[in-house]
Amino acid sequence: MIFFLSFGGLLVGSFLNVVIYRLETGESFVSGRSRCDSCREIISWHDNIPLLSFLLLRGKCRTCGQRISWQHPAVEFSTAMLFAVTGWALPAPVDASSAIGMTLVLGLVASLTVVFVFDLIHMEIPVSALVFSGLWTALSLVLLRHFASPGEAFADSRLAEGLIGGTIAFALFYALVFFSKETWMGEGDAWLALVLGLALGWKLLLPALTLAFGSGALVGIGLMLSGKKGMESPIPFGPFLAASVIFMSFFGTMVGRAFGFFMT
């Protein structure tokens, strides 16, 4: 199953590159052929095979000879690896409910990958795409897990955990947005925090935010020490939040236990 998921991840990653590009241009995701970023010529199907075409063309457009952005193979490979990790971390589907659950997890991973790359490139989180993909996917996943345990009390349910976690995360980040007038955080970060809280629940919220802020601080310090960023230079926070959701989704239980141990 892991092989098929990684192969599917390559195909999905190729589509995600289209989504990332067309979110900026406003073009439709589902219509229109792929074109070269430089010369805008239509790319033939045999030059559009994930990873393989990039290697065969030696990273250059067949028509104009310009370099193809490394974003394309990087997103394809990363999505394939994340899909493979999903197959490794989750049990193989045995019924419709578990199959839908895995599909939703893969959908959430794909949505967060788009947010990660788009914010990294454009210093902006595409709120409309996030609300209609990542947010609804996370909510659907929480609802599915809730209804899969019909005898569970609501107060102890995964749905309650997600709703509380999402509310706390959104309120915290929206307060930062409001009081800083979007100089510390953007509105997109608040919506992404809502996804984080919904997907992980309040029990994993603190270690997830610690991971996101900690990794963001380390990267920021590294960039300043290397001279690539100054004290006033903005650094997108969305990629750290998105990576934190993905990492904690797979390793949250282990991290949560370790975090609780060190906090006691």
Do 5 and 113 share a domain, yes or no?
Answer: no
- The residue segments making up the domain with residue 49 are 1-89
Do 105 and 73 share a domain, yes or no?
Answer: no
Do 149 and 79 share a domain, yes or no?
Answer: no
Among residues 30, 59, 89, which one ends one of the domains?
89
Do 174 and 49 share a domain, yes or no?
Answer: no
Do 65 and 150 share a domain, yes or no?
Answer: no
Q: Residue 234 has what pLDDT?
A: 77
Query: C-alpha distances in angstroms, 68 versus 36, 42, 88?
Result: 8, 14, 32
Contacts 24+ apart (CB under 8 A), 43-50: 48/14, 50/10, 50/11, 50/13, 50/14, 50/76, 50/80
Q: Residue 264 has what pLDDT?
A: 46
β-bridge partners, 35: 42
Do 82 and 104 share a domain, yes or no?
Answer: no
Q: Residue 117 has what pLDDT?
A: 94
Do 69 and 100 share a domain, yes or no?
Answer: no
- Alpha helix positions (H), 57-135: 71-89, 96-122, 127-129
Per-residue confidence in pLDDT tens, the chain, 264 aa: 888 999 999 999 999 999 998 888 777 777 777 887 778 888 887 778 899 988 988 888 888 888 888 999 999 999 999 999 998 888 887 788 888 888 999 999 999 999 999 999 988 898 888 888 888 999 998 888 777 776 677 777 788 899 999 999 999 999 999 998 888 888 899 999 999 999 999 989 999 999 999 998 998 888 888 777 766 677 889 999 999 999 988 887 666 565 554 444
Among residues 89, 111, 132, which one ends one of the domains?
89
Among residues 89, 111, 142, which one ends one of the domains?
89
Query: C-alpha distances in angstroms, 35 versus 12, 69, 222, 254, 261?
Result: 17, 13, 36, 44, 52
Q: Residue 33 has what pLDDT?
A: 77
Q: Residue 208 has what pLDDT?
A: 92
Q: Residue 230 has what pLDDT?
A: 67
Do 54 and 126 share a domain, yes or no?
Answer: no
pTM score, whole prediction: 0.88
Q: What angle do CA 236, 80, 253 make, to 5 degrees?
A: 70
Buried residues in 172-193 as b, exposed as e (16+ CB within 10 A): bbbebbeeeeeeebbebbbbbb
Do 113 and 76 share a domain, yes or no?
Answer: no
Do 40 and 144 share a domain, yes or no?
Answer: no
Domain count, the chain: 2
Do 137 and 238 share a domain, yes or no?
Answer: yes
Gyration radius (Cα) of the chain, Å: 20
Do 138 and 227 share a domain, yes or no?
Answer: yes
